[in-house]
Amino acid sequence: MTQQPIRTYISDREIFNRADISGNPVQEEVLLAMEAGELPLRYQRNSQTLSLTDQISLTRSAVLIVGCGGLGGNLCEYLVRMGVGKIVACDPDVFEESNCNRQILATSETLGKPKALAARQRALTINPLVEVVAVEDLVRVDLLDSVQAVADCLGGADYRQELLEMAGNADLPLVSAGIAGWHALVCTTWPGESGIGEFMGKSTSSVENELGVLAPVASFAASLQAGELIRILTGVDPALRGSLLMADMARMRFSTVDLNTL
């Protein structure tokens, strides 16, 4: 793909003015501007690492985030700031006080409110150039129709295998993370290949119940998921395809193992 040069930078205000005049959705005006070499100012500091072509790819992309808790809340924040055009944030739960130790979207204002809605509201305050759709429900197959990748940010092991199958059937890559205590696992599953979900059967007693879940571990794992998703959406091979990164933040030990050998 040929790399387009950045001709100039453009403010959010100018994009909104153009949308007012043209009647186009804001997201469409963002794309038109970038295709003409105008990069939104808010992405200026992305541009030393991401090309204009990459930023256009992100703008055209949609990601389904399943779970808007410790992992999903942070992941949504990163993808919104990076400029992923559309995020479908899916979670049937409301915030409880026990979420506040690690879930970035759990605040005094959002207690008792739907997590998916909080993700959307937070996104509106961060980046009005992207769209976040809140789904206050369990994940459904039709939610995978219009996205290019799925993020497994579930709390608990129960539905991970099901989500893995759903993503595989929809021919979509799945970027998963799981955390407990100071430990994190992160894995990217390509359709039809091995993935983390296979190691978490339905009846599994997952160790987070014993070790709890911590804020820095949640944000760390979500950062790695964001990195993988950005690579996928910009057409770069994800670093953890078919492998599992295991982090022990108590000892600062990180290792990656190959999963495609079974």
Partner 1 sequence: MQIQVSCYATLARFTPQDGTLEVEQGSTARDLIRYLQVPEDDVKIIFINGKSSDPDNPLNDQDRVGIFPAVGGG
What Rg, from alpha-carbon coordinates, does the chain have? 18
166 binds partner 1 (CB under 8 A): no
Candidates 55, 160, 172, 226: give the one binding partner 1 (CB under 8 A). Answer: 160
Total residues contacting partner 1 (rule CB under 8 A)?
A: 43
Q: Name the residue nearer to partner 1 (CB basis): 207 or 239.
A: 207
105: amino acid identity, one letter:
L
> Using the rule CB under 8 A, is 245 a contact of partner 1?
no
- Alpha-helical (H) ranges within 127-206 are 160-169
Is 244 among the residues that bind partner 1 (CB under 8 A)? yes
Q: Which of 120, 174, 181 is nearest to 144 (CA)?
A: 174
Q: Are 260 and 192 in contact (CB under 8 A)?
A: no
Q: Which stretch binds partner 1 (CB under 8 A): 23-31, 48-56, 127-135, 244-252?
A: 244-252
Residue 179 CB burial class (10 angstroms; 0-12, 13-18, ≥19): buried
Nearer to partner 1, 29 or 228 (CB): 228
69 binds partner 1 (CB under 8 A): yes
Measured in whole angstroms, the distance separating CA 176 from the mean position of its chain's CA atoms is 10
Give the DSSP H/E element, type plus range, for residue 149. Answer: strand 149-152
CA 7 to CA 106: how far, in whole Å? 40
> CA-to-CA distance for 203 and 157, rounded, in angstroms?
9
CA–CA separation, 187 vs 239, rounded Å?
9
Residue 156 lies near partner 1 (rule: CB under 8 A): yes
Q: Would you say 72 or 114 has its CB closer to partner 1?
A: 72
Smallest separation (angstroms) from partner 1 to the CB of 194: 7
User: Binding to partner 1 by residue 89, rule CB under 8 A?
Assistant: no
Beta bridge partners of 88: 64, 133
DSSP assigned state of 261: T
Residue 56 or 226 with smaller CB distance to partner 1: 226
Q: Which of residues 97-126 bind partner 1 (CB under 8 A)?
A: none
Considering only residues 179 to 238 of the shown chain, the ones binding partner 1 according to CB under 8 A are: 179-181, 183-185, 194, 199-200, 204-208, 210-213, 218
- Interacting residue ranges for partner 1, rule: CB under 8 A: 67, 69-72, 153-158, 160, 177-181, 183-185, 194, 199-200, 204-208, 210-213, 218, 244, 246, 248, 255-259, 261-262
